[in-house]
Amino acid sequence: MKRERLDKVLANMGIGTRKEVKQLVKQGLIEVDGVTATDPGMHVIPEQQEILVDGEPLHYKRYVYFMLNKPPGVISATEDPRHETVVDLLPPEWAAKVHPVGRLDIDTEGLLLLTNDGQLSHSLLSPKKKVDKEYYARIAGRVTPEHADAFAKGVTLDDGYVTMPARLEILSSGEESEIKVTIMEGKFHQVKRMFAAFGLQVVYLKRLRMGTLLLDETLEPGEYRELTDEELASLRKLT
């Protein structure tokens, strides 16, 4: 396992800035394996060594994985000058360290994964992995089996791009239709643009699944939880 500077480990865990950590060391409030630390630059193996901060044990995590039920009106970004972002909904000690895996439009709800594991994030978003995403949507207008056939062949978007084949399941069809759609890409406004190609408008959109990861329906919009070991292991198998 990798050795890291003590002040870096504590800063990454949200204990404080490196400058603040140095003050804690100076005050004798940091212990490593029962010995008071005197050098904030000392190297430690946080997964193996016991680190106490003012008598409280540090539960070290190199990576974190949060499932968020994204509410409407929130931006899928780490910062934005005008809108609340998805990281603003997380604990402050992690908000500055994680990033959303992919994006949901500002008015789109549902499953969003946030992590500081760049390798997993890259793999899940790689077109080569073909990790599928399932959405529930309400559509203004009648969705027909002909639309489902067209989705299965790939839809030409407004910029000429032809999407990969997608699965369209019609739950109800009428003046407002209910559908589920599964895509393997993440083009800008893709689901909305696919329906727009047929003169149909998406009036509500919610992501239900990403690969093997299902939205926990007990999470209210804006709520989050960490992934279970089983959920994380299943995601890693995809990559």
At residue 66, the pLDDT reads: 96
Which residues 6+ apart lie within 8 Å of 95 measured at CB?
87, 88
pTM value is: 0.83
Cα–Cα distance, 40 to 19 (Å, whole number): 10
List of domains in the chain: 4-57 (3.10.290.10), 65-127+222-238 (3.30.70.580), 132-210 (3.30.70.1560)
Active site residues: 105
**E strand map for the chain:** 4-5, 30-32, 35-36, 43-44, 51-53, 56-57, 65-70, 99-100, 109-115, 133-140, 167-172, 176-183, 201-210, 213-214, 224-226
Residue 17: count of CB within 10 angstroms of its CB: 11
> What is the pLDDT at residue 95?
81
What's the DSSP call for residue 127?
A: G
Residue 35, both tokens: 């010995």
pLDDT, position 15: 85
Q: Give the mean pLDDT of the chain.
A: 94
Q: Under a CB-based contact definition with an 8 Å cutoff, are residues 190 and 105 in contact?
A: no
What's the pLDDT at 174?
A: 96
pLDDT, tens digit, for every residue of 103-138? 999 999 999 999 999 999 999 998 888 899 999 999
pLDDT class of 94 with cuts at 50, 70, 90: confident
State the pLDDT confidence band at 201, using cuts at 50, 70 and 90.
Answer: very high
Number of Cβ within 10 Å of residue 34's Cβ equals 8
pLDDT tens track for 8-60: 888 877 788 889 999 999 999 999 999 999 999 999 998 899 999 999 998 88
